[in-house]
Amino acid sequence: MSKRHTGFAGLFLLATLAPGAADADEQTGRSLYLQNCAACHQTEGQGLGHPIPPLAGSPILLGDETEVAGLILHGKAGMPAFHLYLGDDVIAAILSYARDAWGNAAPPISLALVTAERAKLGNDGFRIPTN
């Protein structure tokens, strides 16, 4: 479990420390977005119509930082709960990218904020599905 949460830590750290960090951040964020979100939200955040609305101008994505971080961690309204699968660094990178892509212009989400949100989860009753 702990391994999974830090699976991308090296990659992300490297990206943030390298010169031209802003570009690298964006690249990392985009590639993580494509990998983990695009199957449903599509490559340019255009969504899939009624069931999955677009991310450009999305009030939830661009709204309260803790709420949007909580949404990725806990899931909501049928969206998966990613806290079992994605590390805090990955979630922060993806959110920061999406909040600044496709005409969006919201400030980035910090790793510390995601970590603090995860800590609120406590024992949330999730278990590895085995059906």
Partner 1 sequence: MADWGLPGLTRRQLLEQLGRVGGSAAVLAAMQAFGISTASAAERPPELRGSGAGKKILIVGAGHAGATSAYELSKLGYDVTILEARSFSGGRAQTARRGFQAQEMGGEPARCDFDDGHYINIGPWRIPYHHRSTLYYTKLFDVPLEIMVNDNDAAFLYGRDVPGRLNRQLVRQGEIKADLRGMTCELVAKAAATGRLDGLLSADDKEIFLDYLCNEGYLSRQDLTYRGVDGMGISIRGFARHPGAGLVKGEGLPLLDFSDILNSRLWQHFNAVTEFDMQWTMFQPVGGMDQIARGFERHMGHLIRFDSEIERLRQNDQGVTADWINTKTGQRGSTTADYAIVTMPLSVLHRLDTDFSESFKEAMEGVAYAPVMKAGLQMKRRFWEEDFSIYGGHIKTNFDNGMGIYNISFPSTAWQSQKGVLLGAYIYGAVAVQASAKSLRDRLEYCLDIGETVFPGHYRANFETGFSWCWHRAKYNQGGWAEWSEAGRKTAYPKLLQPEGRVYLAGEHLSYMTGWQAGAIESAWMQIEKLHHRVLQA
Question: What span, in angstroms and rounded, lies between the C-alpha atoms of 12 and 24?
Answer: 9
Nearest-approach distance from CB 8 to partner 1, in angstroms: 11
* Site residues for partner 1 per CB under 8 A: 3-4, 34-40, 42, 48-52, 74-82, 84-86, 121-126, 128-131
Continuous segment of H or E residues that includes residue 33: helix 21-36
Nearest-approach distance from CB 52 to partner 1, in angstroms: 7
Phi-psi region for residue 26, left (φ > 0), alpha (ψ -120 to 50) or beta?
alpha
Question: What span, in angstroms and rounded, lies between the C-alpha atoms of 40 and 18?
Answer: 31
Comparing CB distances to partner 1, the nearer of 82 and 99 is 82
Nearest-approach distance from CB 126 to partner 1, in angstroms: 6
Strands of the chain (E only): list them: none
Among residues 99, 102, 25, the alpha carbon closest in space to that of 63 is found at 99
Comparing CB distances to partner 1, the nearer of 83 and 99 is 83
Coil, helix or strand for 130? Answer: coil
Nearest-approach distance from CB 32 to partner 1, in angstroms: 10
Comparing CB distances to partner 1, the nearer of 20 and 78 is 78
Comparing CB distances to partner 1, the nearer of 23 and 44 is 44
